[in-house]
Amino acid sequence: MSLTSLGAQEPLDDSQLLLLPAGPGSQSAWRVGWTRFRRDPVALASLIVIGLLIVMAVLAPVLTAINGHPPDAEYQNHLDPLLGGLPSGSVGGVSGSFWFGLEPGTGRDLFSMIVYGARVSLFVSVSATIVTVVVATLMGITAGFFGGWIDTIISRLMDLLLAFPSLIFMIALVAVLPSVPRLLLLIIILSVFGWPYLGRIVRGETMSLREREFVEAARAMGAPVRYTLLRELLPNLLTPIIVTSMLTVPTYITAEAGLSFLGLGIEPPTPSWGSMLANSLNWYATDPWYFIFPGFFLFLAVFSFNMAGDGLQRALDPRGD
């Protein structure tokens, strides 16, 4: 390739693009990060727990079939009417047939409700996180790379969404859009108000990376903008994107549970950890197990994602040790 072609800024063909210098992100760096991650017992154990929770959610129909109790089936004959509908027996009705006991008042199997509630929590949080990552990456890298009026418009949009009272907007949306499926509505609400946080991170990292030597070299060699964004900038943004995404999932799990707790989440009879916690307030004094079981799984999911995210951040950060 001649100096004349460099000076003319002619577009490069595929063979020439392979000669462009690679950015700091590489497969070897990811292998080193994975090695560091495996040496963190808390992070590795948290990742295993996350995997088990995902398996539990995916195999919910199989697990309830083994248990023999669908989540919407009511077993009123196992409730004590003299105690106001509390489960018969000790520990909330826990037995060989009902592994986590029964829901007071309705007699639904708590184990089946919890595994199906895991489906709701993980589906909503993971789906909203995927939408958040896609939107935040597109908006953040566009604002950070091009700057100018494009950056101004996107940045002001981020500021507007961050300043907006999201809870009031959520309540209003649920009220004015009753025909929209709650799962879809929750995903939209969480991602709309969640992407500016990651968008700001991506924007800031992009503004820093666009002045680096490997990006300047790609520009000097006439690489298309698409190539610069996808092959030079995006691979070097993966670390903050992945780490932030891992920490976003527990935030959305908590948000979904909170909305269900307020009656704005998944509508019954579909089980949800948040709605179970809300219903348990009427029974916590007489049947604390109805509160403990869903509360424990909610805590376990949030704690595991947070610990795995922290471990991933330490592993991928060269200054982690």
Is pLDDT above 60 for 5? no
Both tokens assigned to 247: 């920490």
> Judging by DSSP bridges, how do beta strands 79-80 and 86-87 pair with one another?
antiparallel
Provide the pLDDT confidence category of residue 29 given band limits of 50, 70 and 90.
low
pLDDT number for residue 214: 76
Q: What is the 3-state secondary structure (H, E, C) of 307-318?
A: HHHHHHHHHHCC
Is pLDDT above 50 for 136? yes
All domains in the chain, ordered by first residue = 42-316 (1.10.3720.10)
Q: Name the burial class of residue 253, with classes exposed (0-12), middle (13-18) and buried (19+) by CB atoms within 10 angstroms of its CB.
A: buried
pLDDT number for residue 1: 39
Provide the pLDDT confidence category of residue 6 given band limits of 50, 70 and 90.
very low
pLDDT digits (tens, 9 = 90+) for 69-126: 888 888 888 888 777 788 887 777 888 888 888 888 888 999 999 999 999 889 999 9
Model pTM? 0.83
Which segment of 21-25, 213-217, 281-285 scores lowest on mean pLDDT?
A: 21-25
Mean pLDDT of 303-315: 89
Provide the pLDDT confidence category of residue 7 given band limits of 50, 70 and 90.
very low
- What's the mean pLDDT when you consider all of the chain? 82
- DSSP string over 216-240: HHHHHTT--HHHIIIIIIHHHHHHH
- Sequence length of the chain is 321
> 109 with 100: CB under 8 angstroms?
yes
Is pLDDT above 90 for 177? no
Mean pLDDT of 258-268: 79
CA-closest candidate to residue 121, choices 316, 320, 305, 244: 305
Provide the CA 88 distance to its chain's centre, in angstroms: 38
Is pLDDT above 60 for 12? no
